Amino acid sequence: MYNILLTDDEKIVIESLTYVIEKNFPDQVKLYSTRSGSEALETASSVRIDIIIMDINMPGLDGLETISRIKQFNPQAVIIIVSAFDKFKYAQEAINLGAYKYLTKPVNRNLVIKTIRSAMELIDT
């Protein structure tokens, strides 16, 4: 069982990702969702999260700062950024902070599935 945390300030993104993940990984995942970086920190500090799917641009604590803080106490977490920002600067900073993948919105459903599957394989090795 993989604990996956979805963090995005847009409810529709959380709902879409939840649908895709539950449909393609039944009985393999437990999903948690948050709408801000500070909520993500709170959840990640109380539950051992394996995979984090996070937006960068959120009010308050942004995704990059949230990643940086989570990696301090959970360096094994596999982080997937899903963002509307396609600027190289953001992707580079996310990778430097330890993000596994950087996907741009709107994200293709098949790419999400493939990326989560490869993240699971990475955790298993």
Using one digit for the tens of pLDDT, what is the confidence trace for 3-15? Answer: 999 999 999 999 9
Judged by DSSP in three states, 91 sits in helix
Question: pTM to 2 decimals?
Answer: 0.93
pLDDT at position 76, please?
94
Q: Residue 57, CB half-sphere, CA atoms under 13 Å: how many?
A: 11
Residue 123 above 80 pLDDT?
yes
pLDDT at position 98, please?
87
- Separation between Cα atoms, residue 56 and residue 118, nearest integer Å: 21
To which H or E segment does residue 82 belong? strand 78-83
Mean pLDDT of 30-43: 97
Judged by DSSP in three states, 87 sits in coil
Q: Are 67 and 53 in contact (CB under 8 A)?
A: no
Judged by DSSP in three states, 94 sits in helix
